[in-house]
Structures are given as C-alpha cells and as structure tokens.
C-alpha cells in the first residue's frame, strides 16, 4: 500500500476521538497545543473546551481549511509549521504549563517525542497516539527488549501510561499497524533529575545503547572514552561496567550521565 503523505491517517472513529480529548481532563483554564490537527477530528472537540488552543499543522491546505473553519473562534490559532521546528515554550501561559495532544504523524514519532523532552519544563501532560510498537518502547521497563533510548528519554521527564490500543479501521486511510494512545504526565520541577543539557543526554544515551549486545563499558569505549574514564564513571555511578544499558533503571543512567558531565569526558 502507498504510504500516505506526511503520515496522514485521519481518525474517523467518533468514540476514539472523544476518549482522546477526554484524557486531557478539564481544559477550560488551560492552553492546549495540538500536533497535526489534520481535518480537525480532535480539534473540533478541543475548540469547545479549551481556554486557548494552538494547532500546529505542516500541510498548507489542511492549515488553511482549519483556519477557515475556526475563523470565528478567537481562542483557536492555527499555525502552519513543522512541529520539530516549533519552540513550544512561546505558548506557555502565565499561570501554568501546556497540555499537548496529537495523533502523531508516524514517520517522525521518535523525533517528536525527543522534541517534547527538550520542552519538558513547559509541559504538564501529553496525550499522544503513535504506532503500537513505538509506544511499547516508550513505556518499556529495564530488562526488556523494547527498553532503550526512547524509554529513558521520555521516562526521565514523565510518567508513562498506555490508555488504549486502536485498530487500523479507526482511521482513513487505515495504517498497516495498530496504534496506542499514551498519557505522559510530566514531572513537576521538584521531581526532575536535574538534567540541563538535554541534547547531550540524548547523545549520551545513544552511546550507551549503541549496540544492544555489548556491555555498557564497550559501548562507551567505542564512543571515544578510555578504559580508565569508563571505570571512573561507572564507579561514581555505582554501576558494574559489565552491565548492559538495557538492564539499568533510569536513575542509574542519569547518575552515569551526570558523572560524565562533571568530568566533562562526554561532549
């Protein structure tokens, strides 16, 4: 089957779009950002409920269609833009954080999730639909095959829960895969791990998970660290160097990263 342009599988199941909107909770006093509103299946419900709604849509004709449809709703703003190039912090309300929603374009789901991580401090909650296999990776626990970069990157910032699994026939055209809606409840500022260099953390995790079968020490060595440096970092973070990254819980990987930052052994 030909892949739809820009991951455009539109939601046509009425119950599902309502359940997604309901999962945002009471949004009457909240700024909501929607990623990829498409023809407005979820947008229509949100526009009736949100204090302010900002829709980011890359497709020019869809953005124009929505702008026309909501032309009388001054609290709804449709922005024609690439979500990956959009600084979410500019939408932060004076009195709180943003709630975000999206039936994500599946071809860039991982990049969008990392983009959300880079904006974690301005986010309160995200209800996001993605391919089921990707959602399984985001929600995975240590010691499983799915646990990796995406799990740690997201779980460092948010508590992840799977809300529902959606079959292909809920969309038009139907995708070839099942989908899952995840709820990401972002930690408030007292519960964060103290990572300030988010992009460095991502590239550090890439090194740790580089080759799944290799030990953490070997993966870090192939990223340019000397054996001594690896030993010192592992000691500081109280991690046996022969561990594999996929066995380590999030706080351990964070401790290792923070040790590397302190020693400035990683970029």
Tokens for 155? 């779980």
Q: In the bound complex, what is the minimum distance in angstroms from residue 101's beta carbon to ligand SAM?
A: 9
Question: Contact between 105 and ligand SAM (CB under 6 A)?
Answer: yes
Question: Contact between 200 and ligand SAM (CB under 6 A)?
Answer: no
Distance of alpha carbon 137 from alpha carbon 159, whole angstroms: 14
- List binders of ligand SAM among 57-96 (CB under 6 A): 57-59, 62, 82-84
Question: Contact between 50 and ligand SAM (CB under 6 A)?
Answer: no
How many residues of this chain bind ligand SAM (CB under 6 A)? 24
Distance of alpha carbon 253 from alpha carbon 249, whole angstroms: 7
CA 156, chain centre distance (Å): 11
Q: In the bound complex, what is the minimum distance in angstroms from residue 73's beta carbon to ligand SAM?
A: 17
Distance of alpha carbon 116 from alpha carbon 1, whole angstroms: 30
Question: Contact between 36 and ligand SAM (CB under 6 A)?
Answer: yes
Cα-Cα-Cα-Cα dihedral sign, residues 94, 79, 158, 113: negative
Pick the piece of the chain touching ligand SAM (CB under 6 A) from 31-39, 66-74, 227-235, 242-250: 31-39
Question: Contact between 42 and ligand SAM (CB under 6 A)?
Answer: yes
Pick the piece of the chain touching ligand SAM (CB under 6 A) from 53-61, 136-144, 215-223, 249-257: 53-61
CA 10, chain centre distance (Å): 20
Residue among 109 and 260 whose Cβ is closer to ligand SAM: 109
Residue among 38 and 148 whose Cβ is closer to ligand SAM: 38
Residues composing the chain: 267
Question: What are the distances in angstroms from CA 213 to CA 136, 245, 264?
Answer: 20, 9, 26
């Amino acid at each position: 089957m030909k892949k739809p342009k820009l991951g455009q599988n539109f939601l046509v199941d009425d119950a599902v779009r309502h359940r997604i909107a309901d999962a945002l909770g009471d949004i009457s006093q909240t700024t909501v950002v929607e990623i990829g509103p498409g023809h407005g299946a979820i947008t229509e419900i949100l526009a009736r409920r949100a204090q302010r709604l900002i829709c980011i849509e890359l497709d020019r004709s869809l953005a124009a269609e929505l702008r026309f449809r909501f032309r009388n709703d001054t609290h709804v703003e449709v922005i024609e833009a690439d979500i990956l190039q959009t600084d979410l912090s500019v939408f932060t309300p004076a009195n709180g954080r943003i709630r975000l929603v999206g039936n994500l374009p599946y071809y860039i789901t991982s990049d969008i999730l990392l983009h959300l991580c880079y904006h974690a401090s301005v986010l309160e909650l995200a209800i996001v639909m993605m391919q089921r296999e990707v959602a399984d990776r985001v929600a995975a626990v240590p010691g499983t095959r799915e646990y990796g970069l995406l799990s740690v990157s997201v779980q460092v910032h948010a508590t992840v829960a799977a809300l529902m699994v959606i079959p292909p026939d809920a969309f038009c055209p139907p995708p070839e895969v099942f989908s899952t809606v995840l709820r990401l409840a972002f930690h408030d500022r007292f519960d964060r791990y103290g990572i300030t260099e988010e992009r460095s953390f991502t590239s550090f995790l890439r090194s740790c998970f580089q080759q799944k079968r290799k030990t953490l020490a070997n993966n870090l060595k192939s990223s340019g660290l000397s054996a001594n440096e690896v030993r010192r970092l592992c000691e500081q973070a109280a991690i046996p160097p022969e561990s594999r990254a996929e066995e380590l819980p999030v706080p351990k990987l964070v401790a290792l990263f923070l040790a590397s930052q302190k020693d400035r052994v990683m970029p």
